[in-house]
Amino acid sequence: MKRKIVISYDKVAKVYGAIVEVENLNAFKRDLASLVVAKQGTSNLERYPHDYDFIELGEYDNSTGEIKLLSNKAHLFNAGDFIIKDDSKKSGEDK
């Protein structure tokens, strides 16, 4: 099965994180969104999600062990994209 190879980049520290392989990008986004929205942890990713970009590096086939890297890294998203904005307070407080 082909899996995606993804890495995080901390824009503040200016370093890349650990390389991970994920089943597919949609499942990865869902799992990351759950982590960011829950805000129950103490990791920098959970505390400062806007500091982290996620980048696709290529594919890994776990049945053959073959790795195919992209010719150019592909920016996927910023972890801060998953923050839910609370617009419910705007209407009452702005009056």
- On average, the pLDDT of the chain sits at 86
- The answer as to whether 10 is a domain residue is yes
> Are the C-beta atoms of residues 73 and 19 closer than 8 Å to each other?
no
In a domain, 36, yes or no: yes
Given a contact cutoff of 8 angstroms between Cβ atoms, the answer to whether 50 and 78 are in contact is yes
59, 3 Cβ separation under 8 angstroms = yes
In a domain, 95, yes or no: no
Q: Return the residue matching tokens 């790795």.
A: 67
Distance CA 34, CA 12 (A): 23
Domain of 63 in residue numbering reads as 2-85
pTM (whole model) above 0.85: no
Read off the pLDDT of residues 1-34 as tens digits, 9 standing for 90 and up. Answer: 999 999 999 999 999 998 999 999 999 998 888 8
Total domains in the chain come to: 1
